[in-house]
Each structure stands twice: as structure tokens, then as C-alpha cells.
Chain A
Amino acid sequence: MSEPTPKFKVTVDNITIEVAPGTTILNAARMIGGDVTPPAMCYYSKLPESGGKCRTCLVEVSKGSEKDPRPMPKLVPSCRTTVMDGMEVKNITSEKVVDARKGIVEMLLINHPLDCPVCDQAGECDLQNLSYEHGTEKTRYEFPRRTFEREDLGPHIQLHMNRCILCYRCVFTADQLTAKREHGVLERGDHAEISTLLSKSLDNEFIGNIIDVCPVGALTDKTFRFKNRVWFTKPVDAHCSCTKCSGKARLWMRGEEVYRVTARKNEWGEVEEWICNECRFEKKSAKDWTIEGPAKIKRSSVIAQGHYENTKKTPVLIDKVIGKEPKFLLNIHDVSDVNRPEIELSKIDGPAHSNDFKTGK
């Protein structure tokens, strides 16, 4: 029998957890879950080398380790910093982190278009969630935003560079998942752009996955563009027999109609299994699929607000973080009928209607 691997004790926002050596602070925090998990816009656990760029996951290391308790001088990117035994990390309990994150969200947004009302990503957009949770309501930026021409990356994918936050996820996906490198970052600094050389079409079996990894609406599915708002479609898990990929996908349906096919994503918004272009773009009929049932939406985003069945609730940890029970100020349901907790969207036949939320229905 081999020796049991030693575990490292790490404390994130006063909550201690034991993790395997080599775990990053971000992944340790994800094991705890809830509010103590730093947001991540560029890190993607399925893509080696990703992370470190967006700086939204910066945390303060107030104690380096048991052996060397000195705090780290600068905020560190939690996605690329591995834990040490006895490390103490401050995320939401650190004023420095909260302030820095606010600054980073502001900077990510200064050139981001305010086109959420017409953006297909709205409702499942990481940047939308991030700015909702960590941003300010106003911008101090008074200059024209940077703009790019829209670009077609092949027949199915539209690149909207205006919305891109240069997380490099799609570049890593294409590099690591597909046979040859076809797109990357051109130029540098604030005029850097994701592109292919001479607007070449991206053409290979798995390139559609770059749509799923994109945290914003920069890469969208042309077979779904402007067809529907994501929160009006119902996600169901389904599978098919596919020779190229696992065939395990998520269908976004309205009635019997399949509006969109994506890979299944976990609670961190990361793809569980990559799917091929054929499953994604061509199997747009319910009879192509064996439907398993409503998807378990675990993400906290607009979609999850709809109270789907089997939803995994994010743990509420505030009492542990602050060391006491928080004072309950107001129950939103006492003053608003919206998002009534007893209404399960997945039990409503067809798309939801405002009538469904009216009291006394």
C-alpha cells in the first residue's frame, strides 16, 4: 500500500479545507463554493495554461504557509497560484481584493459595448454576472469605445470582437483540441484582436467548442443568433450516438423545437465533454436526440433564477465567513412577485409567460 498523500490545509475567508498538494487557490475555493470562490473570466480548468490574464480572481494571501508565514506582497491570481500547507487566503474578506476587483471589472467594461439587450450571450454571460456582482453602476470612462468589424469565422461562428475581453480561452481551445493552430491574437495592447490570418474560415470538427468557452458574446453560434433569448428556452440534457464525440449535449428547447445545442456545462460554467460540430450545428431536431430530462442548471446566472428542477443551490457561507449569523433585513418575496420561489419553470408547459408569475394564478 502506498502512503496516503499528505493533504494541505488552506483557509479561504475563514473557512478551512484540506486539499491535495498542487491544487490552486481557486480550485480549493471552488471546493468550498459559494461567495468565497473568486470569479474567473479567463481560467478554464479543462485548458492547460489558461488563466492569469483577466486578473478578476486576484486574492490576498495573508499567510504564505505554516513554514513561511509571511504574507505575499502583492495580490496573486488564485487560478495560477498553488496552495501551501497552512496558507491563509482572503477573498471577500479583504478590502484590497474587493477594491482591486472593482477596478478590474470597471476596466473590462470601459470598452465593452452596452449591447446586452441584443447580445445572444445575455443571460448566460460571465461578464454580465461579474459586473452585476462586483461592478459599479456607473462608468467613469468618457471616450468612444473601441470598435472592430464583425468577422465570420467559418459558416457557423460569428466573431464580435467588440465584446471580447481577450481571455485567450478560444485560442487555447483551438490549439489544444483541434489539429492545427488557425487563429490567435493579432496586434497588441488595447488594439489586440482575436482573428485568423486574412479572415480565414475556421474549419475543423471541434471548432464549435470555442463558442462554449467564450465567457462573453464575442463568439456566437450563427445557427442560433437572434432566434431567442436563452432564458426563454428550456435546457434539457440529451444524447445521441455520434462517432466523433461523446454525443452528450444540452438542447435548448422551446416546445418541441430545438433552438440550440451546446455542450453540457458544470457549475463553474465549464464544458464537461466537448462536442463536435455536427452535433452542435446540424442536429437541430428533437428526433436526432434521446432526451434524458431537464438539465441540472447549477450556475448562478439569469437562467438559474428561473428555479429549474434539480437545481443545485450554491451554499450560503456568510455565517462562516463573518463568524456569526447575518441579520435578515428583507425577504424579496415579501415585496415582489417576480421569481416566486414555488414556481418551477421546468414544470411549466412551453415558454414562461408573465401570467405564470402573477399571484392567484
Chain B
Amino acid sequence: MAVKVLLKNDHIEGIRYYDTYRKHGGYAAAEKALKMAPADIVEEVKKSGLRGRGGAGFPTGMKWSFLAKPEGVPRHLVCNADESEPGTFKDRYLMEFHPHTLIEGLLISSFALGSNATYIYIRGEYAWIVGILEQAIDEAKKNGWLGKNIQGTGFDCEIYVHRGAGAYICGEETALIESLEGKRGNPRMKPPFPAIQGLWMRPTVVNNVETLAAVVPIINMGGEEYAKIGVGRSTGSKLLSVCGNVNKPGVYEIDMTISVEEFIYSDEYCGGIPNGKRLKACIPGGSSVPIVPANLLFKTAKGETRYMNYESLSDGGFATGTMMGSGGFIVLDEDQCIVRHTMTLARFYNHESCGQCSPCREGTGWMYKILKNIETGKGKMSDIDLLWDIQRRIEGNTICPLGDAAAWPVAAAIRHFRDEFEWHVNNPEESQKRNFGLAHYADPIHVPASA
């Protein structure tokens, strides 16, 4: 069933502007929140079970409760709008069409966390959105929702929009903080975590755009009501950005109870795959999460239906499952070449590695070069094992998760599509003319009956 929480006013013309937004119930949550004690807001968010929408899925309420509150030291809230994960564009939609939802969420969260200076770090490529956000901030300010003594509560809050300069790594929270401070965007060592020493060594919370926007419905509905949407530990609604071989790419809001099959084939969502092609593989959570073949996408290795939520997508671990990630849903049909696709991703991570840690700096480039050889028909059989060995030695051995993000797609591609790689090596000429095709990747997997 379709659920509209964040995008419930999506159809209203002019919802981008303050007057329309206010008329349709906007800033009601802020009104309510400003009368609450900050600790109670944190408690509501905890009750809602909201998990970070940026990719890692860490419980937001818990993250907020870790924030250190030393006497006399300012605290900061930073909104991570550096949405750079290939395949992910949900935050862009939210900011472009519902800027006031974000501003309201930021105001409530800033009040809850005691942040008087809140930052939106937006990726440089979203140049046109900066104006939209700044206009929304101006409107909110004129109507007394930002600035000094907000709505007579004595709480001051300013929101600043800061533009990044086009580095994927600046989406990593500590690199984002470095960049916001005006330095080179290299990730910091953790600990100390940003909750203790973040922006300008002050306690800082960094949250994704969608996470902070979700605070608005949580306050409106109450944490417990919000937690009733969804299933298990995947509460609330989730925005997904769909791209690739589907009839209706775009941004969808789901309640995490629908199956992956329904999501791809129902007319309400992706509307199936164009031209009667068959599904080959899918990356359900942005380019970093493991790719899964069709036969592991709809059903888990145990033969159960796979649903669009954190737990079900990761069922089976990395061996047979994947991750919810940031919600960048990439669909590949039978005409797509996994080797070429993996090479493209490897090139991206090679280009985006900051170069601090030796395994990531050297390893990502090495993987890209090998994949390029295989793709162009110059590969050797030993290259496949070498790739596996390189990714294994990058994963977990770097400061920030970019190393893991570079290693996982390569690992998953080899794990599930090894025969396609081997076919490329064994048929160097043919592989330049045609694709490997669907092969057996949609065949049902034999599931041993449980005793």
C-alpha cells in the first residue's frame, strides 16, 4: 500500500513556498516542538525507531543521545546534503520541491540538540538548489521561524547553506566537517567521534537530509504512531530513487512492507522493465552496496520473499544478501554487462578516493586497471583472483568507509557473476561484440528443505 508521509503534499502546487506550505499544515510540528522540552523531542525520535537515511542506517535517536553537552561549548547540527552516491537522488527531490520540510526538520532538530548555528552542507553540483534553500530560509526567517528568539521561546537558530566543491568523500561525516571548516576534505580518525569533537572540535551531529525531514512527521504524529508505519526495526517511510532499466524511474516513497518484486513490477512504482526485457541484477541501495542477481533479489537464499526494508535486504549477509544503503535503486536488465558496470564503479571510487590511506589510494586504481583489461578483452584468468585479493585487503583497512564502498561492489560482482568475468577472459573477441546476457542469473536457486 502506498504511504505518503514525507511527500504527502507532493501534488500541491507551490508547496515549495512558505505561504502554501504553512497553509497545508507546515510548521505545525515546529510549533508543537518548541513547546516541548528538548530531551522529550529526542525521546520521541528514539521512540519512532527512525534510522539514518544516508546509508548506514544507524538509529537517529541513539546518535542524538550520544551528543556531548559540556558547559559553555556550542553544539552544532550539520545536515549532510552532499548526496553523491551514484544512483541516489532522493535528497535532491526533497530539497528542490519540499525545502520547508527540511528547514522545519532542521529547526526542530536544532532545538532538540541545542544548535544555534546549523549548517546544510550541499554538494556543489546541486547549484540550483542552494537558491531554493536560501529562499526558504529567508521566508522562514521573515515569519519568525529562524533567527533570534524564535516564536518568543528565547531560542536562537541560524541555518547556513554551505556548498561543497564536488568531492564524493565530503559526504563522509568527518570529511564533511573538515571541508566545512575550510580544509581539505580528508576523513578524520575516529575516535573522537563528531558527537564529542566535531565541527571546530565542538560536539556535532551530522544527519542526512531525509532523516532530518522525517523529524517533522515524527513530531506531528508522535514517535509511537510513526513507528507503526513499516515493519520490525525498519520503521517509517523511506524515499527511494530508482534508475536504470525500469519503465518509471524516479523518486518513490515506500513504507518498507512491500516486496522487491512488487516494487519493480507494480505500476504504482517502477512499472516493470521496458521492452519486455528480463531482470538480470539490481543494486538496491546506491553503488556501494553489493549487487545481487535476479534470483537472489526476489527471494532470499532461504526461499523467503525479500522485502524492501533494512533487515530483509540484508538477509543472508554479503554472501547472498545486500543492503538498504541510501536508497539508490539501480536496476539492470539482461542487456547489461556486469564487468563493464563494475569497471565503471571502480573508476568512480578510484577517482574519488581522497588518497590518505595507502590501501584505498593504490588499491582502487589497481582494481580499475584490471577491470578495464578484462572488459577490453585483455584480461587473464588470474586477474579475477587478484581482484578478489585486492578488494579483500582494502576492506576494513582504511580510515573511512570509502575503502569498503570501493571493495564491496567488486567483491559482490565476482561472488555472483564470476562466470561472466570468466567468459570475458575466455572469449576476448566475442566479449567485445556482444554481452554475456542473462545466462542463469534469474534461474531459481535450489533451496534445501529444512529438517
Interface residues of B in 138-192 (CB under 8 A from A): 167, 169, 184, 189
CB < 8 Å: which of A74, A75, A107, A188 contacts B358? A107
Q: Contact between B399 and A189 (Cβ–Cβ < 8 Å)?
A: no
- Nearest chain A CB to B409's CB is how many angstroms away? 17
A342 surroundings in chain B (CB, below 8 A): none
| Closest residue of A by beta carbon distance from B395 | A74
- Nearest chain A CB to B387's CB is how many angstroms away? 11
A80 at the interface (CB under 8 A from B): yes
The chain A residues found within 8 Å of chain B, CB to CB, are: 52-56, 58, 74-75, 77, 80, 99-100, 103-104, 106-108, 110-111, 140-141, 143, 165-166, 168, 184-185, 187-192
Q: Contact between A165 and B386 (Cβ–Cβ < 8 Å)?
A: no
Q: Contact between B355 and A166 (Cβ–Cβ < 8 Å)?
A: yes
B361 surroundings in chain A (CB, below 8 A): 107, 166, 189-190, 192
B352 at the interface (CB under 8 A from A): yes
CB < 8 Å: which of A74, A75, A190 contacts B362? A190
B354 surroundings in chain A (CB, below 8 A): 188-189, 192
B278 at the interface (CB under 8 A from A): no
CB < 8 Å: which of A75, A106, A190 contacts B355? A190
CB < 8 Å: which of A52, A104, A106 contacts B399? A52
B359 at the interface (CB under 8 A from A): yes
B369 surroundings in chain A (CB, below 8 A): 143
Q: Contact between B189 and A52 (Cβ–Cβ < 8 Å)?
A: yes
CB < 8 Å: which of B350, B356, B364, B392 contacts A53? B356
Between A and B, 14 residue pairs with Cβ closer than 8 Å are A53-B356, A53-B357, A55-B357, A55-B359, A104-B358, A111-B362, A165-B358, A168-B356, A185-B184, A188-B352, A188-B354, A188-B355, A189-B353, A190-B353
Q: Contact between B358 and A108 (Cβ–Cβ < 8 Å)?
A: yes
> B346-373 toward A: CB 8 Å interface, digit per residue (1/0)?
0000111111111101111110010000
| Closest residue of A by beta carbon distance from B389 | A103
- Nearest chain A CB to B281's CB is how many angstroms away? 27
Query: How far, in whole Å, are A106 and B386 apart by their CA atoms in the complex?
Result: 12
Query: How far, in whole Å, are A75 and B355 apart by their CA atoms in the complex?
Result: 19
> Contacts A54-B358, A188-B354, A189-B353 given: A107-B363 contact, CB under 8 Å?
yes
Query: How far, in whole Å, are A161 and B359 apart by their CA atoms in the complex?
Result: 18
A75-B396, A188-B352 known, 8 other contacts, Cβ within 8 Å: A55-B358, A100-B397, A103-B390, A104-B393, A106-B393, A107-B358, A188-B353, A192-B354
A107 surroundings in chain B (CB, below 8 A): 358-359, 361-363, 366, 393
B435 at the interface (CB under 8 A from A): no
Q: Contact between A189 and B364 (Cβ–Cβ < 8 Å)?
A: yes
- Nearest chain A CB to B369's CB is how many angstroms away? 5
Q: Contact between B366 and A110 (Cβ–Cβ < 8 Å)?
A: yes
- Nearest chain B CB to A156's CB is how many angstroms away? 27
Query: How far, in whole Å, are A190 and B355 apart by their CA atoms in the complex?
Result: 6
A56 surroundings in chain B (CB, below 8 A): 358
B398 at the interface (CB under 8 A from A): yes
Q: Contact between B365 and A189 (Cβ–Cβ < 8 Å)?
A: yes
Query: How far, in whole Å, are A190 and B359 apart by their CA atoms in the complex?
Result: 10
What 3 pairs across the A-B complex have the smallest Cβ distances? A103-B393, A192-B355, A107-B362
> B113-153 toward A: CB 8 Å interface, digit per residue (1/0)?
00000000000000000000000000000000000000000
A54 surroundings in chain B (CB, below 8 A): 357-358
Q: Contact between A190 and B364 (Cβ–Cβ < 8 Å)?
A: yes
CB < 8 Å: which of B189, B350, B397, B398 contacts A189? B350
- Nearest chain B CB to A72's CB is how many angstroms away? 11
- Nearest chain B CB to A154's CB is how many angstroms away? 23
B350 surroundings in chain A (CB, below 8 A): 189-190
Query: How far, in whole Å, are A190 and B396 apart by their CA atoms in the complex?
Result: 19
A55 surroundings in chain B (CB, below 8 A): 357-359, 397-398
A192 surroundings in chain B (CB, below 8 A): 354-355, 361
- Nearest chain B CB to A272's CB is how many angstroms away? 26
Query: How far, in whole Å, are A58 and B353 apart by their CA atoms in the complex?
Result: 20
The chain B residues found within 8 Å of chain A, CB to CB, are: 167, 169, 184, 189, 350-359, 361-366, 369, 386, 389-390, 392-393, 396-399
A80 surroundings in chain B (CB, below 8 A): 189
Query: How far, in whole Å, are A74 and B356 apart by their CA atoms in the complex?
Result: 18
- Nearest chain B CB to A356's CB is how many angstroms away? 40
A165 surroundings in chain B (CB, below 8 A): 358
| Closest residue of B by beta carbon distance from A100 | B397
| Closest residue of B by beta carbon distance from A41 | B358
A191 surroundings in chain B (CB, below 8 A): 355
> Contacts A53-B399, A185-B184, A190-B355 given: A108-B362 contact, CB under 8 Å?
yes
Query: How far, in whole Å, are A151 and B210 apart by their CA atoms in the complex?
Result: 47
Query: How far, in whole Å, are A74 and B353 apart by their CA atoms in the complex?
Result: 20
Query: How far, in whole Å, are A110 and B389 apart by their CA atoms in the complex?
Result: 15
Q: Contact between A185 and B355 (Cβ–Cβ < 8 Å)?
A: yes
Query: How far, in whole Å, are A187 and B389 apart by their CA atoms in the complex?
Result: 27
B358 surroundings in chain A (CB, below 8 A): 53-56, 104, 107-108, 165-166
Query: How far, in whole Å, are A52 and B350 apart by their CA atoms in the complex?
Result: 20
Q: Contact between B393 and A74 (Cβ–Cβ < 8 Å)?
A: no
| Closest residue of B by beta carbon distance from A105 | B358
- Nearest chain A CB to B404's CB is how many angstroms away? 10
B362 surroundings in chain A (CB, below 8 A): 107-108, 110-111, 190
- Nearest chain B CB to A344's CB is how many angstroms away? 38
Query: How far, in whole Å, are A100 and B407 apart by their CA atoms in the complex?
Result: 15
A106 surroundings in chain B (CB, below 8 A): 393
Query: How far, in whole Å, are A80 and B351 apart by their CA atoms in the complex?
Result: 27
| Closest residue of A by beta carbon distance from B355 | A192
Query: How far, in whole Å, are A104 and B389 apart by their CA atoms in the complex?
Result: 12
- Nearest chain B CB to A180's CB is how many angstroms away? 16
Query: How far, in whole Å, are A74 and B397 apart by their CA atoms in the complex?
Result: 8
A99 surroundings in chain B (CB, below 8 A): 393
A100 surroundings in chain B (CB, below 8 A): 393, 397
- Nearest chain B CB to A298's CB is how many angstroms away? 26
- Nearest chain A CB to B325's CB is how many angstroms away? 20
Query: How far, in whole Å, are A187 and B350 apart by their CA atoms in the complex?
Result: 13
| Closest residue of A by beta carbon distance from B361 | A190
Query: How far, in whole Å, are A58 and B354 apart by their CA atoms in the complex?
Result: 20
| Closest residue of A by beta carbon distance from B372 | A143
Query: How far, in whole Å, are A54 and B392 apart by their CA atoms in the complex?
Result: 17
Query: How far, in whole Å, are A56 and B398 apart by their CA atoms in the complex?
Result: 11
B399 surroundings in chain A (CB, below 8 A): 52-53
- Nearest chain A CB to B439's CB is how many angstroms away? 29
| Closest residue of B by beta carbon distance from A73 | B396
Q: Contact between A189 and B357 (Cβ–Cβ < 8 Å)?
A: no
A108 surroundings in chain B (CB, below 8 A): 358, 362
A141 surroundings in chain B (CB, below 8 A): 366
B352 surroundings in chain A (CB, below 8 A): 188-189
Q: Contact between A140 and B184 (Cβ–Cβ < 8 Å)?
A: no
B365 surroundings in chain A (CB, below 8 A): 189-190
A77 surroundings in chain B (CB, below 8 A): 189
